[in-house]
Amino acid sequence: MTPQVLTSIAPLRDRVAEARRTGLAVGLVPTMGALHAGHLRLIEQARLECGCVVVSIFVNPLQFDRKDDLDRYPRPLQADVAVCASSGVNIIFAPTVEEMYPEEAECTVDLGPIADHLCGRYRPGHFRGMATVVLKLLQIVQPDRAYFGEKDAQQLAVIRHLARDFNVPVSIEGVPTVRDTDGVALSSRNQGLSPEERVLARSLYRALSEAERHIAAGERDSQRVTEAAGLLLPQDDRLRLEYLEVVDPKNLQTVDRIEGPALVAGALWIGSTRLIDNLLCSPSAMSAVATPSGN
């Protein structure tokens, strides 16, 4: 099936309305392009639940806190169209910046504490810009369901709060993280890694897995969990850990003591590429693991 590629809002709304008249549920998969297997999982889930699948491809300038990052972001539109065509996508919405923001955006979404922590602390304005464009896309497409990856846990939490607080009639669906064979979460940003840096990227998942192991074994102290996880990060000048924290999965605020399900989230710079990842962990009823001493 060849998807219809639309660059303007009006014909997109007409095409979605046509699908609705035939009784089809509409699913939206918002992306910034450079599609990979993680995006394909989102599309696959949308295809299972919706008769009309819309994939948006738009590199949103409002959510970039650094111009060089925006300029470097990959934009392989023709390859993305081919991926969508082979995945059963019905409509591709690939607007220009001028179509999405015909005038300078004066009204943006003001977010609460959920966006202040983790990535929000280090990327000022990022979540405001992301939430603004997602709200615009939800208003433009008006889907029944919208699909987002759990790899971007804070983004997903923000969007769920956004839809709830603004009474947007859409079901926000989280789709599990897709990983490479070595555990590295698939991301468009992985394209920016050299072969040597790609090997180093494994260390973030290994650190998160170590945290998960300690929590599953009964460790309740968040600091001890993150300290143990941090030991799995190699000493390398190309690596810079931005954060590694244990947070409440609902509000993403730091927890000192783990009493229930916890999200261990990390952001790691590898050269000029910033990667994020997370694991949802559950403590067992076992007593806390012993803290290693000496060597």
What would the two tokens of residue 208 be?
């998160």
Distance CA 149, CA 157 (A): 11
232 alpha-carbon distance from chain centroid = 24
Exposed, middle or buried by CB within 10 Å (0-12, 13-18, 19+), for 257? exposed
Distance CA 110, CA 220 (A): 34
Angle among Cα 269, 192, 90 to the nearest 5 degrees reads: 115
Q: Is 39 a catalytic residue?
A: yes
What would the two tokens of residue 294 be?
């000496």
- Choose, from 39, 126, 161, 214, the residue flagged as catalytic: 39
Nearest to 30 by CA among 154, 153, 184, 159: 159
What would the two tokens of residue 52 be?
């009309």
Query: Catalytic residue numbers?
Result: 39
